[in-house]
Amino acid sequence: MIFKKISSSSILEIEYFDEVATGLGPTLEFFTLLSHEFQKKNLNLWVDRSSHESVIVDGKELCYHPSGLFPRPSLQNEFEGNDNMKKLLYYNFGCFIAKAIVDQRLIDVHLSNPLIKFLLGEPLTIYSLNEIFPEICQVIKDFNEIVNMKNQIINNDLLTSEEKESKINELTYKNAKIEDLSLYFVLPGLDIPLIENGDEILVTINNLEEYVNRMIQVITKESINQQMDAIKEGFNSVFDSKRLRIFTPTEIDTMIYGSSESDQEWDKETILENTICDHGYTPNSRAIKYIVEIMSEFTSEERRKFLRFITGSPRLPPGGFKGLSPKLTFVRKEEEPPFKPDNYLPSVNTCFLYLKLPDYSSKEIMKENLLKAIEHGQSGFSLS
């Protein structure tokens, strides 16, 4: 309920107890942490494909779907009552997404196209949900073809009743008769009854059309209505979703989730063109050559951790490094005798996007100390 108390016109800024930093960095970190809380697998809020690609962030197992977040279909009696916790979580998630857009904060949440389109007022269809439920949608399409063939046979006046019955009985799905598939009136893979006592009613060629129609009705409306409506209600309580209709779903997802992680955005030329060297460093400095090479060689996971260390968010804004405001700035971290640069870890000022780099003696030592600082800096703002 926290978001109901925040007007859409007020900018949310976060400060943590016992940490040295305030302002943009901790605020982006808050949005990132909250992103992960909403995606925790044990909440059972989202369609989850994490069995194909396990996602563990900050010790939390998160839901994952290659097409982005989409509410998990559920029996609608799970949402009865005004104080229903699941419904409240979906509502607050909608508030959270809208607040991120209003405050121009990146969040670590990839929204699916069907969810974005729903927020924009478009109805859900089997075709739009194909990327979320590919197996179910394919079954519906295949069975619908069989239903159409059956109806063509029934409407063929050139056939006798016996011939019609014979041809209908010859209709198969992958060389098997429908009744031999051991299907019941339950949504495949989700255990949601399509009709009362659906788990006891066998699907046959005679009731296949009803089965297909009920699957469409349940997967596009009945099993997700309340989840989707709660998200939209929460979103609109902060920001009118109709005002986003000038953008495409891809543009909206980029606005929320940030830039795509293309290798081109992380090449040496792009990094140099869109960063600043100051306070002891120039583009020709040895340390700058090292850091640019190291950044261009980062793995995808190292990129996420580096960005979170620098900005508080694990993703680049729209436009990549060019979109960072203020610009990422490399400055020299001075050593105090008798210590040498190699004895220090890099540190950051997240509000001004300053990466404070000692003048390390080698690229290898810089990378080792940078990765060590990044790991230490994931859980707080203690390296000033």
| Cβ atoms 21, 351 nearer than 8 A | yes
351 an active-site residue? yes
Cα separations (Å) of 177 from 188, 204, 208? 18, 8, 11
Cα-Cα-Cα-Cα torsion 284, 287, 290, 291, nearest 10 degrees, comes to -100
CA nearest neighbour of 36 among 111, 132, 116, 107: 107
Cα–Cα dist 343/46, whole Å: 46
Write the DSSP assignment of 236-282 as a string of letters. Answer: HHHS-GGGGTTS-HHHHHHHHH-----GGGGSHHHHHHTEEEESS--
SS3 364: helix
Residue 276, C-beta contacts closer than 8 angstroms, at least 6 positions apart: 327, 328, 329, 330
Peptide bond into 317 cis (omega under 30): no
From the candidates 63, 95, 277, 351, which is the catalytic residue? 351
Active site residues: 351
